[in-house]
Structure 1
Amino acid sequence: MIRVLLADDDPLVRAGLRLMLGAAEDTTVVAEASDGAEVSALVDRHGPDLVLMDIRMPLMDGIEATRVLRARAEPPEIIMLTTLATDGYVLRALQAGAGGFLLKHTQPQDLVAALRKAASGEPVFSPDALRQLVDTVAVSPDEVRPAPGATGARRAPGPGGQDVHDARELLGRLGAREREVSLAVAEGKTNAQIAAEMYLSIPTVKAHVSHILAKLELNNRVQTALLVYRAGLI
């Protein structure tokens, strides 16, 4: 059972999400927050596996709430909700440690499928939204630089905020196999797909991904993908 916390300041949006998730046998909504400032305490109280987080909320937005959660030793997975794939806040949310984002008009069956994927540690995007995201990273690096004073469990060097040389220098920390895996991650491939293509076991792929995140000082696969795109390797 995937335990979900909903964070959105619109009660109608929360009600709709609750109904959609309640129809699935393997998801349950354990708590709801109307603002990012409420999220941390609710995570303490209910221990969700995943947080569906609205980006724009009045007191504490979803980006700052994501940073707070990512500073924990064992944070839940965090998926951002937005109305527009081109929302400039999306990039900052991913830098803060979110594992992907979904549009609020996502179809119920697609939403549940995305949450199952996210709960297993895979990033979730719509293909069109990811393409727009990559285009933004390519042409507007200043848009995605880390906010001044941002803190978290790890320092995220800001994939997309470096120039091509800096991004490639960071990727130079990786071994040959890790570099291959990072490219596959940037192409959106799952651990199972990478394992099949490289004739590796899934646990070995997971270990490579963990080493990549540690060496690059990143929070998740999404940030790895952004860094690879920024380096011009995809």
Structure 2
Amino acid sequence: MTDLPEPPSRQQRQQQTRAALIEAAREVFAELGYHAANLERIARQAGFSKGAVYSNFSGKAALFLAVMDANLETVWSQPTGSADTPRPDTSSADVFETADEAELDQVIRGFALATLEFIAVAARDEELSAELQQRMQDVVDQYTQVAHDSQIVDDELTPQQLGTLLTALDQGSGLLVLGGTDLVDDDLLGVGMQRLLATKSTTDEAGPVKTAQHADQPAEAGADRTTNSHIQDRLLRALGNPTVQD
């Protein structure tokens, strides 16, 4: 007789419920926005009662932060050593699971718009503002690591400062796209980031010596990206930057 599998433990069931609620919340927030989304709709879409939400989260703001955390956790867990994987492999985690790329892009854009609503709410709430700042600092830290790993040679900007600028370029470009401008696309954003990561030249008696890509050498749009560039792609997608396209 084949042994039956052990039933999931209480903790495992709670983790499964939490994951289902987060996935449903991502879709509802993307569809309706932060303000219009309600916990009853999210619970129903996940297949639970509203009480299940309050058993796992203190409220809508906490659930929204949990979606952000799930997005970023997917990013941080991805390996960065292969240039053949410019996008996160989400087959083992249901984050960003969707039927096709068009639907995925719609979810990304919708969640980005919901995030703008949430930022406005958090700005008026000291506790939520601190929570949001912590997550944005995590993103800055990741970009700082990108700058550090790129072996930046710059006597003016530290990797921390470069990480902050990369984050600002990332979030600012996303805001422009959400506002309806078509001036920023993935190629232009990539060029801007590559310019920030380009090392400055050092000078000796014989003149300037290029230590890597020179700061005044424009990067070609659509050129092959480095391994660190893939981290940038993942961060942009996790935070819902609509400039990122496949």
Q: TM-score, normalised on structure 1?
A: 0.30
Structure with the larger helix share: 2
- Which of 1 and 2 has greater Rg? 2
Higher relative contact order (Cα pairs below 8 Å, separated by 6+ residues): 2
